Amino acid sequence: MAAPRFHTLEIAAVRNETPDAVAISFAIPEDSRDAFAFLPGQYLTLRAEVGGEDMRRSYSICSALSEQDRRTVGVKRIAGGRFSSFAQTLKPGDRIEVMPPQGRFTAEIGGHHDYLLLAAGSGITPCLSIAKSVLAGEPDSTVTLLYANRNSASVMFRDDLNDLKDRYTTRVTLTHVMDEETQDVEIMNGRLDAEKLERLAGLGVIDPKSADAIYICGPEPMIRSASAAMAALGVDAERIRFELFTPAPGAAPKPAPARTNGATVNGAKHGSSVEIILDGARRMIEVDPGQDTVLTAAQKAGLDLPYSCAGGMCCTCRCRIVEGAATMDENFSLEPWEIEAGFTLSCQARPDTGKLVLDFDAQ
């Protein structure tokens, strides 16, 4: 399978969700439907030149699986965020580069399940896609959604959420938690943290122990706190799903073994010849591991490798070591079995051997 590449898509609609958030819908042409097939919970990476700089940012899809001709993402402006500010200026008819759906924070639709979704702020976006797809595609499944915001003005996708509540009255439970606005029920006020979740479980508002799958999306401290609360309430780790786009300082990466592929360290002190296999073609670049990762060296050499976060979180830059060895600076996304199978993240990988061969087409 080929490495993910950008497609130029036209914006079909832009909807203001809150004063600082928009929903942007991309028209998916008939001949790109296969490439843009997705699982609920995945994200799109957008690429644009902002202030003269080539920038990429990933935003979760909020569409239901049934929406064939459009993919919609939610973009909230963040303080000092150049790309998220630029995104607020986009309008129907604009064309922008978009990478096909990626991500492992997904729900496979089918069967009968009870889902617990914990979302904060723009973290509602993938949870909305999961909720819409589950309720439409699994007729016996239920969805309990806890959605935390500062106040009612910052609630994204209010109409879609109300529509789900009206349409699936007996199968969806939606609870808003606000920390800057007082609601009638005391427990719904404040932050969605571990203490709040434990109290909500004690009151029976949520039932994490009987949930088949728990999806958590929001700022990194909320994810850490909610995951810890779920574990403390006796939920098995396999049932807790979350995804990091931006690790907070001190976030623990997944173990990145000192060496991958079992090769001996040698010859890479002053540079390594790295052969890149991408879309069936081969290119050689020189990488000085003291100066560059494979990705930054490739960029300097004018080679367009697939990447999105450049921070070890999204896996877009995943490739397999065919020959040689490399060390990752950080790894927030590759699973132990992938490292065992020789995969690495090119945005984090520094060669350990004088020759390194990386296959971006390997799946």
Least separation, in Å, of the C-beta of 3 and ligand FES?
A: 12
Please tell me what DSSP assigns to residue 286. Answer: E
Closer to ligand FES by Cβ: residue 133 or 308: 308
Q: Which residues pair with residue 178 across a beta bridge?
A: 149, 189
Cα distances (angstroms) measured from residue 197 to each of 21, 26, 54, 192:
27, 36, 41, 7
Residue found by looking up tokens 């073609």 in the block: 281
Closer to ligand FES by Cβ: residue 142 or 348: 348
d(CA 343, CA 126): 27
Binding region for ligand FES (CB under 6 A): 307-310, 312-317, 333, 345, 347
Q: What are phi and psi of 225, to 5 degrees?
A: -65, -45
123: CB partners within 8 A, 6+ apart? 216, 217, 218, 219, 222
Least separation, in Å, of the C-beta of 295 and ligand FES?
A: 7
Helix 194-202 crosses helix 220-232 at what angle (to 10 degrees)? 40
Closer to ligand FES by Cβ: residue 194 or 310: 310
134: CB partners within 8 A, 6+ apart? 40, 107, 109, 113, 115, 141, 143
Least separation, in Å, of the C-beta of 118 and ligand FES?
A: 24
Least separation, in Å, of the C-beta of 326 and ligand FES?
A: 13
Closer to ligand FES by Cβ: residue 171 or 350: 350
Least separation, in Å, of the C-beta of 191 and ligand FES?
A: 29
DSSP string computed for 109-152: --S--EEEEEEEGGGHHHHHHHHHHHHHH-TT-EEEEEEEESSG
Closer to ligand FES by Cβ: residue 216 or 347: 347
Closer to ligand FES by Cβ: residue 43 or 86: 43
Least separation, in Å, of the C-beta of 278 and ligand FES?
A: 14
Closer to ligand FES by Cβ: residue 43 or 157: 43
Least separation, in Å, of the C-beta of 40 and ligand FES?
A: 21
Closer to ligand FES by Cβ: residue 273 or 296: 296
Least separation, in Å, of the C-beta of 287 and ligand FES?
A: 15
148: CB partners within 8 A, 6+ apart? 119, 120, 121, 176, 177, 178, 179, 191, 192, 218, 222
d(CA 240, CA 221): 16
